[in-house]
Amino acid sequence: MEYKNILQEQEGGILTITINRPSKLNALNKETIEELGKAFVAADLDESVKVIIMVGSGDKAFVAGADIKEFSNFSPKEGKHLASQGQKILFDTVAKLDTPVIAAINGFALGGGLELAMAAHLRIASDNARMGLPEVSLGVIPGYGGTQRLPQLVGKGIAMEMIMTAGMINAKKALQYGLVNHVTTQEELLTKAKEIAGKIANNSSVAISAAIRAVNAGFETGINGYQVEINEFGESFGTEDFEEGTSAFLEKRKAEFPGK
């Protein structure tokens, strides 16, 4: 499928999705959110895709936020709809995707941009990256999961400070906070993302999806993550990947997972 605001490139099992509105610092307008949502769902259904990397085009921004121009005259009702639709079609979709998603933060990740990176399963950043949730400086609050995912990643106190000051932190600080897992130079960002993706892709995709569901369950209210883990663990024993993984270990050879 052809998209207007995103580019896609697949190398082996690794799909790179590039958010491509460089003249607007890759800000997320409605169309881009819809296209990204569709691309993630399609990639998840494509058995050849083992890991997804998302990055912003250009060398300045990952995503500089939701498109401010688009929502500047919204009513409370329209604001609520914007957040709920966005969370449903993109942010929650990414967080709950069975295929692992790595955000490669190559510059500004602000507002909806940081929220999108936080919806990914893990984040790495280049040393020029700047991250923040500046919404309260615009008289609004984060609406794409930021008030929930930021405290989960960095703790409540630091999240409160970042949200209330609306300030930006650099990549070094983000690493110290645990918001990103690694920091690289700009040139090495995608190489590092692909190195991690390659290690993930060597493992059982079925087990990885189960692990994503179990980890996510621990952050859902009213759901017992330990019970989800027990169920997912048990189900693994019925997969072809388990049969292959254990046989390969016992036969002292590298596993060739069928992904089933």
Site string for ligand COA, 69-88 (x = CB under 6 A): x-------------------
3-state helix, strand, coil in the chain (%, to 5): 50, 15, 35
Site string for ligand COA, 201-230 (x = CB under 6 A): ------------------------------
Whether 62 and 18 have beta carbons less than 8 Å apart is answered as no
Closer to ligand COA by CB, 91 or 108: give it.
108
Q: How far is the CB of 86 from ligand COA (least distance, A)?
A: 11
Residue span binding ligand COA (CB under 6 A) among the ranges 1-9, 63-71, 146-154, 155-163: 63-71
Closer to ligand COA by CB, 30 or 182: give it.
30
* Residue 212 C-alpha from the chain's centroid: 12
Among 56, 65, 245, 259, binds ligand COA (CB under 6 A): 65
Whether 79 and 143 have beta carbons less than 8 Å apart is answered as yes
**Pseudo-torsion of CA 97, 102, 104, 109, nearest 10°?**
40
**Pseudo-torsion of CA 84, 142, 94, 203, nearest 10°?**
-150
Among all residues, which ones are annotated catalytic?
A: 115, 135
Among 3, 8, 24, 203, binds ligand COA (CB under 6 A): 24
Under rule CB under 6 A, residue 109 binds ligand COA: no
Under rule CB under 6 A, residue 64 binds ligand COA: yes
Report d(CA 119, CA 101) in Å as an integer. Answer: 9
**Intra-chain end-to-end CA distance of the chain, in Å:** 26
Residues that bind ligand COA (CB under 6 A): 24-25, 27, 64-69, 108, 110-112, 134-135, 138
